[in-house]
Amino acid sequence: MDFITLEILPFIKNHLLLSLGWIVLFIAIIVLTIKGKLSKVKVTNNAQAIQMLNKQDAVIIDIRSADSFKKGHITDSYNVLPIDIKNASAKTIEKFKEKIVILIDENGLSSVGVGEILVKQGFSNVFVLKDGIAGWNGENLPLVKK
């Protein structure tokens, strides 16, 4: 108790905003970790994605813009915009509800939310590619350019 009284409490008192910032950050990390563990959307790496493509007939859905897609995309991937998924107007992917679907964005940050929407729409096996197309490209894996 002496350490807390002598060191931590005066620090918190003298640096209230900094201390509150750390508490908020700590709570945010806990919430995001729990949310990630409870999510039905799973994260996969490049090696696992290649395995799913080759052995389990997985489907790649690239949610980047059409221009980004044309600059380089994974072979046989489908370019579907997130807005079309949100509006349930992406009819080209409806037939993949029972297949493994791997979502790809620029850097792996925005595809989890889109994946959650797909799960709500009845897709049963949704994955997101960790680090997105940037990670794929960073490992010098093949891209198709149009």
Domain limits at 13?
2-37
pTM: 0.77
145 located within any domain: no
Q: Tell me: do 22 and 59 sit in the same domain.
A: no
Q: What pLDDT, in 10s, does the model give residues 68-106? A: 999 999 999 999 999 999 998 888 899 999 999 999 999
Nearest residue to 75 (alpha-carbon basis) of 65, 55, 60, 94: 60
Q: Tell me: do 24 and 72 sit in the same domain.
A: no
Q: How many domains does the chain have?
A: 2
Q: Tell me: do 79 and 109 sit in the same domain.
A: yes
24 located within any domain: yes
Q: Tell me: do 83 and 51 sit in the same domain.
A: yes
Cα–Cα distance measured from residue 76 to residue 60, given in angstroms and rounded to the nearest whole number: 7
Cα–Cα distance measured from residue 140 to residue 121, given in angstroms and rounded to the nearest whole number: 34
CATH of the domain at 108: 3.40.250.10
State the number of CA atoms in the 13 A half-sphere of 73 facing the CB. Answer: 21
One-letter amino acid at 66 equals A
